[in-house]
Amino acid sequence: MDILAIESSCDETAAAVVRDGREIISSVVATQIEEHKLYGGVVPEIASRRHCESISAVVSEALEKAGMTSADVDAVAVTFAPGLIGALLVGVNFAKGLAFSLNKPLIPVHHIRGHIAANYLAYPELSPPYMCLVVSGGHSHIVEVKSYTEFEVIGRTIDDAAGEAFDKSARAMGFPYPGGIYIDNASKQGDASKYKLPKPHTQNPYDFSFSGLKTAVVNLVHNAEQKGEQLDINSLAASVQKTICEMLTDKFLSAVSERGCKKIAAAGGVAANGGLRDMLTKAADERGLELFLPPKSLCGDNAAMVGAQGYYEFMAGHTADESLNAYATMNLGKVVY
Element (H, E) at 56: helix 44-65
Does residue 319 touch Zn ion according to CB under 5 A? Answer: no
User: Which parts of 124-153 interact with ligand KG4 (CB under 6 A)?
Assistant: 136-138
Does residue 237 touch ligand KG4 according to CB under 6 A? Answer: no
The Cα 189–Cα 30 span in angstroms is 31
Does residue 309 touch ligand KG4 according to CB under 6 A? Answer: no
Are 325 and 337 contacting, i.e. CB atoms less than 8 angstroms apart?
A: yes
Smaller CB distance to ligand KG4: residue 66 or 244? Answer: 244
Compute the least distance from the CB of residue 135 to ligand KG4, in Å.
Answer: 8
Among ligand KG4, Zn ion, none, the one that 7 touches (CB under a kind-dependent 5 to 8 A) is none
- Taking CB under 5 A as the criterion, the residue among 88, 301, 310, 311 binding Zn ion is 301
Smaller CB distance to ligand KG4: residue 153 or 224? Answer: 153
Smaller CB distance to ligand KG4: residue 224 or 291? Answer: 291
97: left (phi over 0), alpha (psi -120 to 50) or beta: alpha
State the greatest distance between any 2 C-alpha atoms of the chain, in Å, as a whole number. Answer: 67
Compute the least distance from the CB of residue 17 to Zn ion, in Å.
Answer: 20
- Taking CB under 6 A as the criterion, the residue among 144, 184, 207, 313 binding ligand KG4 is 184
Compute the least distance from the CB of residue 331 to ligand KG4, in Å.
Answer: 16
Residue type, 28: V
Smaller CB distance to ligand KG4: residue 21 or 268? Answer: 268
Q: What is the DSSP string of 69-130?
A: -GGG-SEEEEEEESS-HHHHHHHHHHHHHHHHHHT--EEEEEHHHHHHHHHHHH-TT--SSE
Smaller CB distance to ligand KG4: residue 104 or 113? Answer: 113
Q: How many residues bind ligand KG4 (CB under 6 A)?
A: 20
Q: What is the DSSP string of 205-273?
A: TT-B--HHHHHHHHHHHHHHHHHTPPP-HHHHHHHHHHHHHHHHHHHHHHHHHHHT--EEEEESGGGG-
- Going from the C-alpha of 144 to that of each of 130, 255, 272, the distances in angstroms are 6, 9, 21
Instruction: Provide the binding-site residues for ligand KG4, judged by CB under 6 A.
Output: 10, 115, 136-138, 163, 166-167, 178-181, 184, 268-270, 272-273, 300-301
Instruction: Provide the binding-site residues for Zn ion, judged by CB under 5 A.
Output: 136, 301
